[in-house]
Structure 1
Amino acid sequence: MAAFPIPVTVLTGFLGAGKTTLLNRLLKDPALADTAVIINEYGDVAIDHLLVEQASDGIIQLSDGCLCCTVRGELVDTLADLVDRLQTGRIERLARVVIETTGLADPAPVMQSIMGHPVLVQAFRLDGVVTLVDAVNGAANLDVHVEALKQAAVADRLVLTKTDIADEKTVDALKARLHDINPGARVLEVQDANVADLFDCGLYNPATKSADVRRWLGEAEAHADHDHHDHDDHHHDHDGHDGHGGHGHDHHHHDERVKTHSLVHDGPVAYAAIEMFLDLLRSAHGDRLLRMKGVIELREDPSRPLVIHGVQRLLHPPARLPAWPDDRRGTRLVLITLDMPGDYVARLFSALTDRPAVDTPDRAALENNPLAIAGR
């Protein structure tokens, strides 16, 4: 049988990135023996015929079209059917689900299908998003296609393919650019990527058998686990700039549409303030919020952290951990946004903590904000 909730991995990447090639290689690993694979048949045969024959109950091929829009309802039905087949014994074991999207897909609707369905959220949990990036054409795709930019921005793992036919300078530049877009994601080359590297990206770390907040928030990759002072005590935006010309990628104006906001507050906050922060953020600019993760120390009960995880306007049901996994408490939020206006997130977070950012031009507006009052 299965231990609910079952982890789900979304495998995405732009056209020609090599998703199917990697998936076929990974499926030969015994660690994925009890994995169901949901693929979006789009043109060429997606999975080796041999694997289909060997695991006919574990591989579900959806109809032609974009998985995350034209057959989104079918994805929900397919996941629900997996649970039914497992509970009725038609599937003996199910340890994991992998969903491969098309190259033109925005992964957000797929993530929402997993996180937002009232029944499926009890049976499945989003383990992580693995995005493949073609080392030869990746830079051009990021320049032209917003879908490619979104795929890179929401990833927990970024995998570079075709590095064997791309020159070293191009590969290094693409790695640096991807880190600017998504500083919290681990970047790997496909020949080095294995099951252990790409799966188990969630809050629970099977290696330590405990919650790993720093790893889940991507702080280890972003080098964000340091003491913040003054303005940075409230927030820090990774937008590809350092105030002195950036990281050498100023010509990638397309990338500047994506920002990663690492928001830190050392003390507890009121639950009402958190609710209002999330409601205001999602109602005003929910479509621009690509992904959000957070661990929060609540004023009402600081002994157990509150964990939140959202995609655009959809928020996974908040959960409480039984205890803090380490000595570090406080509130930490990581938000990835697209075309978010100005310092909106920083201002809103300042109101949440009742500690305005240094560069906030309108202190009076924040003082009159009901969120600031709720947070006191």
Structure 2
Amino acid sequence: MSVIPVTILTGFLGSGKTTLLNQLMQTKGEEKVVIIVNEFGDTSIDHELILSDERERIFQLSNGCMCCVVREDLAEMFLAILSVAKDSPSGFDRVIIETSGLAEPSPIAQTIIRTPVLSEHFVIDSILTLVDVKNAHYQLENYTEAVEQVAFADKLLLTKTDQVSTQETKKIAKELEAINPFVDKWKLNFNEIYSDLIGLDLFDHSSKQNSEIENDIEHMMENHEHHYHDHVHTPVNSFVIHSEDSFSEKHIMRWIQILIQKYGMDLMRYKGILNIEGNEKQLILQGVNMAFRIEEGEEWRNDPATKIVLIGKNLPEKNIREMLIN
């Protein structure tokens, strides 16, 4: 059974997650998709439900897809999907998770990364965060969940841009950049059908060549350099560490462990390319809170260099940088 990519749709209440989910289901083609939602009571799926099994919490949809309701443990739900997939002749092509409006996406990512049996069979494709620009300022000011949904995003999808002025949209964009300057933003118009938001491979880069991963990191660093956001108040900060030095694997692992011990859940997202002594290949770092993975990549195509981007709550940039480089 091949590895199943997981797309996480998150965003504050009323941002348009369910509308987008229904559009994605209309454009899925021949793919077999598993949808995971928190509760059917919170979500209206535009497909008739058939063959429901309340005990297993897995439902077949009339379009041939499966739908799961998360009421208990998320790891158990993924294991249940695995069980169904193994009994299915062709398995499943992908999983799409719609979180509740007040949920952070990080527990989902951590569950997959930290559970060996799940990380063998599932890979996170992208965390897509929908932002309702009409109400975003109030939400970001008053709800930490809204801020964290933006901080964890691999791509921001702006909704209701037709209901506010261009100036207001630009203002919200600056607030978003203050939280997460590394990601690109798309304006969503629900009168259009979007089929190119799935399979972006932005989180785990599982289907990308390492040259593409390096380009992604460069793009993130460039985005960060072009945003000046000191005037926007936010508890979330972000920075880049770039070093031409090589590091011992022991030093890197110790550095990551110290970060996790000191900052825990405040260490929100971190990813990068590592230059390790004696290794002719890149090592790819990917982390969410206290869960991380390091995988061997391809041989260096340019001069080896360590490049790491970090997002977190009030992270002391100077101390973290010095712990690694000094």
Distance in 1, matches of 2:274 and 2:205, equals 16
Q: Deviations over 1:11-63 (max 9, x none)?
A: 10001111000110111113572221111126344311348632455221233
Q: 2:7 aligns with which of 4, 9, 12?
A: 9
Residues 128 and 156, structure 1, Cα contact 8 Å, conserved in 2: yes
Match of residue 56 from structure 2: none
Report the CA distance shift for 1:26/1:271 in structure 2 as closer, same or farther (over 3 A).
same
2:61 is matched with which residue: 31, 46, 53? 53
SS in structure 1 at match of 2:140:
helix
Equivalences for 1:91-102 in 2 at 5 Å? Answer: 92-102=90-100
Deviations 1:228-257 (A, max 9, x none): xxxxxxxx897822xxxx4xx3xxx2x2x1
Residue 92 of structure 1 aligns to a residue whose secondary structure is coil
Q: How much does 1:323 deviate? A: 2.4
Quote the sequence identity (%).
28
Task: Tell me the secondary structure at the aligned position of residue 256 of structure 2.
Answer: helix
Contact 1:204 1:211 in 2 (8 A): no
Structural RMSD (CA): 2.5
Contact 2:18 2:43 survives alignment (8 Å) = no
- Report how far residue 185 of structure 1 moved: 0.8
Q: Cα distance 1:222–1:183, how it changes in 2: closer, same or farther (>3 A)?
A: farther
Contact 2:134 2:163 in 1 (8 A): yes
Match of 1:336 in 2: 311
Q: Name the aligned partner's letter for residue 59 of structure 1.
A: C
1:305-324 matches, within 5 Å, as 305-316=282-293, 318-324=294-300
Flag the 1:323–1:203 CA change in 2: closer, same or farther, 3 A.
Answer: farther
1:187 maps to 185
Higher relative contact order, chain-length normalized (CA < 8 Å, sep 6+): 2
> Which residue in 1 is equivalent to 2:258?
280
Q: 1:26 to 1:172 in 2, by over 3 A?
A: same
Matched residue, 2:76 = 77
Letter in 2 for 1:347: N
Aligned to 2:319: 347
SS in 2 for 1:196: coil
- Residue 130 to residue 193, structure 1, CA distance change in 2 (3 Å): farther
- The answer to whether the Cα contact below 8 Å between 1:130 and 1:159 also exists between their aligned partners in 2 is yes
Task: Give the 3 Å change call, closer, same or farther, for CA 31–115 of structure 1 in structure 2.
Answer: farther
Aligned length: 313
- In the TM superposition, residue 308 of structure 1 has moved relative to its aligned partner by 1.5
Q: CA deviation at 1:195?
A: 3.5
Q: Is 2:229 aligned against 1:240?
A: yes
Provide the TM-score with structure 1 as the length reference.
Answer: 0.76
Instruction: Tell me, in whole angstroms, the C-alpha distance in 1 between the residues paired with 2:30 and 2:309.
Output: 30
Question: 1:325-372, CA deviations, whole angstroms, 9 ceiling, x for partnerless residues?
Answer: x325210111111133xx3x4323323222xxxxxxxxxxxxxxxxxx
Q: Which has the larger radius of gyration?
A: 1
**How far has the Cα of 1:222 moved from its partner?**
4.9
Kindly provide the amino acid, as one letter, of the partner of residue 202 in structure 2: C
The superposition leaves residues 133-166 of structure 1 with CA deviations (integer Å, 9 ceiling, x where unpaired) of 1011011100100010000011000001111212
Partner of residue 39, structure 2 = 41
Q: Residue 115 of structure 1: CA displacement?
A: 1.0
The verdict on how the C-alpha distance between 1:125 and 1:143 changes in structure 2, with shifts beyond 3 A counting, is same
- Structure 2: distance between partners of 1:112 and 1:275: 18
SS of equivalent to 1:220: helix
Q: Give the whole-Å Cα distance in 2 for the aligned partners of 1:32 and 1:147.
A: 35
Q: 1:62 aligns with which of 56, 70, 79?
A: 70
- Answer yes or no: is the 8 Å Cα contact 1:297–1:330 preserved in 2: yes
Contact map agreement 1:203 1:212 (CA 8 A) in 2: no
Shift of 1:101: 0.5
Letter in structure 2 aligned against 1:213 = I
For the residue of structure 1 that corresponds to 2:181, the secondary structure is coil
Gaps of 5+ in 2: 50-59
| Pair 31,347 (structure 1): closer, same or farther in 2 beyond 3 Å | farther
| Structure with the largest fraction of strand | 2
